[in-house]
Every structure is written in C-alpha cells, then in structure tokens.
Amino acid sequence: MKIVVQRVSKASVVINNNTVASIDTGLLILLGIVDEDTQEDITWLTNKIVNLRIFGDENNVMNKSLIDVNGDAIVVSQFTLHAATKKGNRPSYIKAAKPDIAIPLYHSFLESLTKDLGKPIQSGQFAADMKVELLNDGPVTIIIDSKNRI
C-alpha cells in the first residue's frame, strides 16, 4: 500500500459538480492499493498517519500530529500511485489491485483511519472521476509505502 500525505489548510473532492468531501486543517491522503496488501498494511499505515508529527507547534516546528491539532482527513483512492514508468512513455498500472481486491481494502482503510483518529473522516468515491482541490500547507507532502517499513 502506498500513500501520499499532504498537509492542507483546506481540501475538497468534487464528483459530477457535487462536493462530496471538504475539510479545513488536516490531511489529504491519496491511497494506492496492490494485490499483496493486507489488513496489516492498513493498520500500520493508519497508525502512522494519525501520529505523524507534521503540524507546527507554538514555535512553528513540526512536532504535532493530526490527533494533536484535532485535524480532519480526506482519503482518495489513487491507483496511479503504482504506475510503472520504466519502459516507454505510457504508464502501466498492472501492479494496481483490481476492484474485487481494492474496494474491500479501501473501505477497511477508511474504517481503520476513522477508528485511529477517533472521529469520522471523509473520502472520495472509489473509481469515480474526481476533481481534487487542495491548499497544500507548507508545502508538506510525504510518500509512505507500507512495504518499506524497515
């Protein structure tokens, strides 16, 4: 499982001209899933996300977590995070999990993040054509791969 975490001042997701998710201070999380991903990957990642100290303290030093700042989160499914670009100019998405595997893991990720954060999170819609808007704060953008924990 691979994620891109972006610290935001605000973010939203629009589908068919309807805003389906909107937050102020918090994290926009792009989530890519592969066939080999498991609940263990989800548990590790959601714990990492809520405790990642990337928010400024009173001295503007990144010492606070999403929990510490009572921030919100939006999760957006993003199969293109697993694009293979080694050969040619057309990315291959062969590594991305097919919907029968990805959808249950996506929903499990949402549930786990909600539990770890202690409040509801927002999300896009799996496989929808989404328009994602954000005001990246910092900017702070971090890529985390659950397969590279060591």
Pick from 48, 16, 53: nearest CA to 31:
48
Average of pLDDT values for 47-68? 97
Residue type, 76: V
CA gap 127, 45 in Å, rounded: 21
Residue 78 bears catalytic tag: yes
Q: What percent of the chain has pLDDT over 90?
A: 97
The tokens of 64 are what?
Answer: 């606070």
Residue 98 lies in domain:
2-145
Structure confidence at residue 98 (pLDDT):
95
Structure confidence at residue 23 (pLDDT):
98
CA gap 41, 47 in Å, rounded: 10
Q: Global pTM?
A: 0.95
Per the structure, how many domains does the chain have? 1
The catalytic residue among 6, 46, 55, 78 is 78
- pLDDT category at 55 given cuts 50, 70, 90 is very high
Structure confidence at residue 21 (pLDDT):
98
Residue 90 has pLDDT above 90, yes or no: yes
> What's 85's domain CATH number?
3.50.80.10
Residue 80 bears catalytic tag: yes
Residue 79 bears catalytic tag: yes
Is residue 150 assigned to a domain?
A: no
Is residue 90 assigned to a domain?
A: yes
